[in-house]
Amino acid sequence: MTKADIKSIKQLLGKPKKIVIVPHKNPDGDAIGSTLALYHYLIKHQHNATVMVPNDYPRFLKWLPGNNNILKHDIETEACETHIKNADIIFTLDFNAFHRTGNMETVLAESEALKIMIDHHQAPDGYATYMYSDVNMSSTAEMVYHFIDKLGDTNSIDSNIATCIYVGIMTDTGSFRFPSTTSKTHQIIANLIEKGADNTEIHNNVYDTNSYERLQLLGCALSNLKVITESRTAYITLSQEELNRFNYKKGDTEGVVNYGLSLENIVFAAIFIEDKQEGIIKISFRSKGNFSVNEFSRVHFNGGGHTNAAGGRSETSLKNTVDKFISILPSYNKALNND
Ligand code: 5GP
Ligand code: MN
């Protein structure tokens, strides 16, 4: 994003506008945190702003300020599409291509509103008039902070904006531990705390509000954990039957993939989750070091993301998907044993 772009955006936002803010499907902490942060910023500047998610998101994010004003496209389709039709500006946050919004793909592609992208995923599509894309950023929420800073407006960051940005950065950095966490990230976090983000309460609200069943499901996932030593890989499966047994709710499997990576000497972890309703196996990949799960997922599992965290999907059975994964792995043994 150039200085000229910033100047134009400043001008554009100089008068109240009708604005829609959209994150990716199955929104995570960064998707919800970044969109709500931008929402609070825009309404503070007299814009008519709406956050619109493609579908529902985990309960542990439903305490965020502004949560009650979020529209869900899958259940409030008509209201959402009216907003999109009337919008002057659509901000697309935390995704790189319209298809990442699921059923919102067409309505977004057909909308004539001016598009502004803020995102940190690799290989962004070129649909946006103004594109703030930086794959080195820890999170889209951190980029929202930089965006407000570029507008010369960090003074307007209040406790609501600070809290939402904090949640996005915290969740996308694995609580400030992934390599994308920089000293700048920590400086921003320090500023956010000064502006009213309550770090202890935020961690508590996101990480310490488990249901008993969620922990039991985690126990099941861990007992399904398999290790392939020669590939320094660990993977977990969860069938639909297992999810049902523990009364699975959206978000219950969030973060489970990381347990594989917590094993000594393991650099590649995957989780395969059966979704009978969508007829797919949803896959998450995580890695440590140079092994690019973004590339791995793009080539073999119809997905993508970042070097160390990516998602993917498969349309065959859970067993066939895992068999395919296991059969591919040996060709990566060299890369996986490279450090
Ligand atoms: P997760 O495994 O948590 O679903 O996703 C890990 C990361 O990869 C997140 O940043 C997510 O937005 C991204 N991601 C997940 N699925 C896809 C996909 O199909 N394409 C792309 N480009 N990114 C994805
Ligand atoms: Mn993100």
Q: What is the pLDDT of residues 99-143, one digit of tens each?
A: 999 999 999 999 999 999 999 999 999 999 999 999 999 999 999
Q: Is the CB of 284 under 6 A from ligand 1?
A: yes
Cα of 297 to ligand 1 centre, how many Å? 9
Q: Which ligand is nearest to the CA of 123?
A: 1
Identify the pLDDT of residue 339: 72
* Residues paired with 50 in a beta bridge: 20
Is the ipTM beyond the 0.90 threshold?
yes
Query: Do residues 115 and 90 lie in contact, with contact meaning Cβ atoms separated by under 8 Å?
Result: yes
Which atom, in ligand 1's list, is nearest to the CA of 303? 19
Among 3.40.50.1820, 3.40.50.12280, 3.30.70.2190, 3.10.310.30, what is the CATH number of 212-336?
3.10.310.30
Q: Where are the beta strands (DSSP E) in the chain?
A: 18-22, 48-53, 71-72, 89-93, 114-119, 130-133, 226-228, 233-238, 268-275, 280-287, 304-305, 309-314
Residue 107 has, within 13 A of its CA and on its CB side, a CA count of 23
Question: What is the rounded distance in angstroms from the CA atom of residue 65 to the CA atom of residue 146?
Answer: 20
Strand pairing report for 280-287 and 268-275:
antiparallel
To test the pocket of ligand 1, the residue of 92, 306, 314 to mutate (highest count of ligand atoms within 8 Å of its CB) is 306
The residue nearest atom 1 of ligand 1, judged by CA position, is: 311
Q: Both tokens of residue 243?
A: 């999810």
To test the pocket of ligand 1, the residue of 28, 119, 259, 280 to mutate (highest count of ligand atoms within 8 Å of its CB) is 28
Cα of 152 to ligand 1 centre, how many Å? 31
Identify the pLDDT of residue 154: 98
The parts of the chain modelled with pLDDT lower than 70 are none
Question: What is the rounded distance in angstroms from the CA atom of residue 210 to the CA atom of residue 59?
Answer: 10
In the chain, which residues fall in CATH 3.90.1640.10?
A: 3-207
CATH class of 3-207: alpha beta
* 313 φ, ψ (degrees, to nearest 5): -150, 160
Q: Is the CB of 311 under 6 A from ligand 1?
A: yes
Which atom, in ligand 1's list, is nearest to the CA of 122? 22
Which residue in the block uniquely carries the two structure tokens 């150039």?
A: 2
Which atom, in ligand 1's list, is nearest to the CA of 313? 19
To test the pocket of ligand 1, the residue of 297, 302, 307, 313 to mutate (highest count of ligand atoms within 8 Å of its CB) is 297
In the chain, which residues fall in CATH 3.10.310.30?
A: 212-336
The residue nearest atom 18 of ligand 1, judged by CA position, is: 303
